[in-house]
Chains A and B, each alone.
Chain A
Amino acid sequence: MVMGDIVTGCDVLVVGGGPAGYTAAIRASQLEKDVMLADRFDLGGTCVYRGCIPSKTLIHTADFIYNIRNPGTGIKSSVEFDLKKIQQGKYEVIKKLRDGIYHLCKKYGVEVIKGAAFFESSEKARITSPDGIVSTLKFENAIIATGSRPQVFQGFPFDGRFVISSNEALGLVKVPENLVILGAGYISIELGTMYAKLGSHVKIIQRSSRILTKFDPEVVEVVSQKMKKLGIEFFLNSKPEGMRIENDRAIVTVSESGKKTELEADKILVAVGVKPNSDGIGLENTKVELDEKGFIKVDEKRRTSDPKIYAVGDVAGAPFLAHKAFREGKVAAEVIGGLPSAFDNRAVPEVVFSEPEIARVGMDEETARSSGYEVTIAKFPFRASGSALTLDRTDGFVKIIADKKNGEILGIHIVGADASYLIGEASLSIEMASLLEDLAVTIHPHPTLPETLAEAAEMALGKVIHI
């Protein structure tokens, strides 16, 4: 297709090349649609450049360094590291993934255009390439996957030097001596823990009385304890009042019920949520409707209020997770391709790469009860797991919430080593509408951590052996 100031056409225009967008583009192409994928930057989105991939690469490295420094009984060790080189290693990982996505798009016949898209109507978009060339594109359907960006916190404008978002925090080449973090969601907890392991003095300021408010309090308590052991300080029920720069250092004023404290910081990480990228793309020229926070309103098939336009990923609302975006992208493409798909998942798993890891899928106790379920709850501790003992990772537990009436598994909450892996099986259980019995009678290899899931299910059925 020729670029330039002429009108070209396609069946499906996908705007945004992150997990939601490139997945949607490839699936639509697999369904024999003529697909164009536009992104202002390289393909990959937040996940590849500013989210999942860089953070997990760095967290893994920090864990590795920390574990060498704390090797366990009978081992002596020491370690030195160069964060700059570690960052370079991280870019190699990113590049591999980015190239992989381009390769996949090529393989499946997706035409990729670099440029910012702007909707002129429900069937036409203008694409401006980085060097200013404008082309107009007519489409049968569009899928918006423009993602989200870090939310700004009043009084702490991002300056890239002192006040940074997760974007910059993932690219530091020097470990900050004093790191102050605003907010206590998963980004704050993951990056705070990572930098604490690399040697930062981390202080987390949180307005409410708990950290990770979306997660089960019992689960969070395990992580909280561990973070305190790593030297992380929590300022709960506290409000960041403002900041000033003194001698090339930032001073953050924080107040807790009137009592003011000043905290010194090399870097201030603002991690207070995300804002949808639904502005500046011409949605006012379409029938797409936004909710009061600016997220695009979608239905189960990820159709927007405009019959030609779909929206997927962060821009279509919470949870802001790549795996939710992957699924949504496929759903939208399949619906456009005439398949009976819908985002009808019973649960979206959520993971925090904290110390130890947290993972949850399905309902928590409160939601289950308020939804009218009479629940049965079991908690199987890692310290009763042979595998956890062999790994010397006995902190944590598996908590299972089920419907007392029929044993339907409503939610599984895990805190402990490798919770991020364990949640896979838990997710399948819920998606497959498993009952406690189904999980309990499934044979799990011994000695492994997944056994704890079956044990928890047996416990909920009232017939556990190992405790």
Chain B
Amino acid sequence: MDIKFPDVGEGITEGTIVKWLVKEGEDIKADQGVAEIETDKAIVEIPSSKAGKITRLNGKVGDVIKVGSILAALALPGEAAAPPVKPPEVRPEVKPEKPEVRVPEVEIPEVRAPEKATGRVLATPSTRRLARELGADITKVTGTGPGGRVMDEDVRKFMEAPAKPPEVKPPEAAVGEIKLPEERIQITGIRKTIGERMVQSFFTAPHVFSMDEADVTELVRLREKEKKIAEERGIKLTYLPFIVKAVIIGLKQHPYLNASMDSKKNEIILKHYYNIGIAVDTPEGLIVPVIKNADRKSILEIAGEMQKLSEEARSRKIKLPDLKGNTFTITNIGSIGGLFSTPIINLPDVAILGVHRIRDMPVVIEGEIKIRKILPLVLSFDHRVLDGAQAARFMNTLKDHLEDPDLLLLDVV
């Protein structure tokens, strides 16, 4: 039997072998992990579905392996030698744990999960087979052939999206012979994904940056007070959960910020669920865990979940479903430093909020200079979907709720 690298989720076509968990000749149990594979989203452990003896490992640590290709050969009990190798092109019928975004009641129309294609499609049998092989839902592919016929190329293009960024050649060293003190680091894994995503976002969505400041003196006081209660429950209460709550109120009042754009159909998808991505800095790069249905969770629940997900993200144990389904993203630059930044939208979102370091600042209140706690905020938004006025109104709602945290209570669910 072959142990294959299964389809671990949306869009992932390859991964790098990070670690072998078994040796050739080793007897393994069913569901025992065979290898750790780094995809562009996380490290996943690939288990064997059956017990047996590992007869061959295909590849070494660092090798890039395609989804569907054979990872290792397993001799089932009673089987003498390794069975013949099947062509690696073949997509296996393994049933991967489908990373599903669980959003009760609401359909997520834009998720490209390889589902059962039941609709009538204008395509030849071989093209339909190709779609199944690549895991494409052919009913969602736009045909460019005569009469709208779906061609092989259409299926391939569909699967390649998000589009690969243009290849950028490194500038040639001007001084030919002199060896410069340089180091070359191969771009793989998360770094590569971040690069592709950012290029796609920045060069598709016209970004506009809207900057503002919120006087969070009251919020600071409130958080100081509640911090202890949270600590007693083992939760580190930061400002972020409060900001998440305020953001959701803003999103509910300004639905075009909780949306995405379907440029193929020329439609804006307004989402009536609130999955908030939180950018987390990890040694390998930025990862964005998603707090699902954050509108239905309390501040403490959000804090707890955020803590758990960031730890998982930092230790690369986070599961793929926890990295998907974002409808709006918050990036907290403040914890490290900087005054203002211009974050890049995390597609398919249409806006991202950057929060910065809270500082004591002199503020004029009723003719007097007072020292207040000031939080700088930046909203980057997609100008195809939103205009400056909508963004500014959203920022006003957000500010109102951050400046008077009692208002957060009014929307408690």
Contact = CB atoms under 8 A, between A and B. Distances in A.
A32 interface: yes
Contact of B90 (A338, A346, A371, A431): A338
The B contact surface, by secondary structure, is: loop
B124 A340 contact: no
A342 B91 CA distance: 13
Contacts of A407: 147
Given A32-B84, A338-B86, A433 B149 contact: yes
A432 B93 contact: no
B157 to A, nearest CB: 18
Given A300-B116, A341-B129, A433-B124, A335 B149 contact: no
Interface in A334-361: 335, 338-342, 344-346
Contacts of B118: 300
Interface string B77-91: 000000110100011
A237 B266 CA distance: 54
Interface residues of B, number: 24
B124 A299 contact: no
B252 interface: no
A342 B136 CA distance: 14
Contact of A299 (B93, B116, B120): B116
Given A406-B148, A407-B147, A431 B116 contact: no
A345 to B, nearest CB: 8
A302 to B, nearest CB: 12
A124 to B, nearest CB: 17
A190 interface: no
Most central of A32, A344, A346, A435 by chain B CB within 10 Å: A344
A451 B91 CA distance: 41
Most central of A301, A339, A342, A408 by chain B CB within 10 Å: A339
B125 interface: yes
A205 to B, nearest CB: 37
Contacts of A345: 125
B234 interface: no
Contacts of B148: 406
A435 B120 contact: no
A406 B147 contact: yes
Interface string B118-155: 10111111001100110000000000001111000000
Contacts of B129: 340-341
B92 interface: yes
B117 interface: yes
Interface in A415-467: 431-433, 435, 437
A61 B128 CA distance: 42
Nearest to A407: B147
Contacts of A433: 121-124, 149
Contact of B128 (A32, A344, A403, A408): A344
A335 B93 contact: yes
Interface in A291-325: 299-301
A371 to B, nearest CB: 8
Given A344-B117, A406-B147, A435-B146, A339 B122 contact: no
A435 B90 contact: no
A344 B123 CA distance: 11
B91 A346 contact: no
A340 B116 contact: no
A232 B83 CA distance: 62
A432 B125 contact: yes
B122 A340 contact: no
A435 B147 contact: yes
Contacts of B120: 346, 371
B89 to A, nearest CB: 10
Nearest to A371: B120
Most central of A339, A340, A345, A371 by chain B CB within 10 Å: A340
Contacts of B123: 433
A406 B129 CA distance: 23
Given A32-B84, A300-B118, A408-B122, A338 B147 contact: no
A339 B90 contact: yes
Interface in A278-302: 299-301
30 contacts: A32-B83, A32-B84, A299-B116, A300-B117, A300-B118, A301-B93, A335-B93, A338-B92, A339-B90, A340-B91, A340-B129, A341-B129, A342-B132, A344-B117, A344-B125, A344-B132, A346-B120, A371-B120, A403-B147, A406-B122, A406-B146, A406-B147, A407-B147, A408-B147, A431-B124, A432-B124, A433-B121, A433-B122, A433-B149, A435-B146
Closest 10 CB pairs of A and B: A406-B147, A340-B132, A340-B133, A433-B122, A435-B147, A340-B91, A432-B124, A344-B128, A433-B149, A338-B92
